Copies of this chain bind each other. A is one copy, B any other.
Amino acid sequence: MATINDIAKHAGVSAATVSRVINDSGYVSTETRKIVEKAIADLNYVPNRHAQNLRRGATRNFGILTSSLEEPVLARIEPFMQFANEANYTTTLFNTYNDPQREINALDRLKSKELDGIFLIYRTNEWSAIEPYTKFGPIVTLHNIERVDLNIKSVFIDHYEGYKLILEDLWQNGARSFINILGRSTGVNTKRRIKAYFDFCEEHKIKPHDIHPFLDITSRKGTLKAIELLDEMPTKPDAIITHSDQVASFIVSHFRKHDIEMPEEVAVVGFDNLIISDLMDFTSMDYSIKEQGRNACRLLLNELGAGPYELKPLQFTLSKRGTTK
C-alpha cells in the first residue's frame, strides 16, 4: 500500500507538503496541490484513519466553554484561538455563566458535529455528565483531572511549586511576615497555595497568619475589602502574595495612590505574569500561561490526528520587578 513517502517521491515534493495537502492545513500552491492530488490518484493512496476522520464530516471548528471572560481566562483563550487559526480551525466561544444547561447545549454540538473538539476552561456539570461527550469529540480542560478513568485531557499545572518559589524568594530577601490573598476556597489551586504556605511556615518555623479573612478574594469588590483589612493592620506585613495579577494590580494601584512605598514598606507579588504586571511594574509568577492555552489546542489537534504537535513544558519563573527586593 502506498505511503505518504511514496506519494512525495512520485510527486517530487516533500512528505510535509503531501501531509499539508491531505490535511488541508498550511500553505500549498495550487500547482503543487494539483501535482500531489494527481500522485494520490495515480498510486491509489488511502489516507490513514486519522487523516480520514479529520476530513470526514469535520467542521474544523473548536468550541471554547467558559463561565467568565476575566483576564486570566482570556490569557489562555487568545493563544488557543490563534493557534487554532494557524492550524486552519475556527473557534466558537460559549459563555455559560455557570449555567449547567448551557454547558450541555454546547457539549451537544460535538454530537451534531458542529464542533470537532472542546476546550472546557471551567466546567459546571459533574464529570460524569461531561465525559460521555468524548465519544463524539475530544475535550481538553484546565481543571485538574484526578480521575484517571476519565477520557479527558488536561493542561492543568500544579501551582504549589510556583507559590513556594515566591515565598522562598521573599524569605531570601528578608521578608518574615506575609499576607496571602487567596482565590476561590473550593479551587484546587487555592488549596495547593495554602498547602505551599503552610509547608513554608513549618520549614521556616514561623506562625501562619489567619487566612480566612483573605480567602475567596476574586472580584474587584472583594479585593477592595481585603485592602481595607490591610489598611487597618497596625503594621504592614513584609510581603503580600496574591493569586492573580488582577488582584495584585488593584493592591499596587491603591498603594501607589496612597504613597505607600513598594518594596520598602511592603512587597507585592502577582501571579500569571500578564502584561499588566509589566505595565505596572510589579513582580509576578510566570508559568507560560499562553503556552498553556496553545497546549490545549495542540492536545485537541493531536486527538484528531492532525498532529503530532509537541506539548511545550510549562515552567515557573519569577519575573522580578519594582515591587519586590
Contact = CB atoms under 8 A, between A and B. Distances in A.
A218 to B, nearest CB: 15
A81 B81 CA distance: 19
A97 B85 CA distance: 8
Please report whether the interface of chain A is mostly helix, strand, loop or mixed according to DSSP. Answer: helix
A94 interface: yes
Given A74-B69, A78-B69, A281-B256, A93 B93 contact: yes
Interface of A: 69, 74, 77-78, 81, 85, 90-95, 97, 102, 105, 249-250, 252-253, 256-257, 276, 278-281
Which 10 pairs show the lowest CB-CB distances between chains A and B?
A: A93-B93, A253-B279, A85-B97, A249-B279, A81-B95, A69-B78, A92-B92, A90-B102, A91-B95, A92-B94
Nearest to A257: B281
Residue among A74, A253, A276, A279 with most chain B CB within 10 A: A279
Nearest to A64: B93
Given A93-B94, A253-B279, A253-B281, 8 more contacts: A69-B78, A74-B74, A81-B95, A85-B95, A91-B94, A249-B279, A252-B279, A253-B280
Nearest to A105: B90
Nearest to A94: B92
A97 B88 CA distance: 11
Contact of A90 (B90, B94, B256): B94
Nearest to A68: B78
Nearest to A278: B253
A74 B93 CA distance: 13
A279 to B, nearest CB: 4
Contacts of A81: 69, 95
Contacts of A78: 69
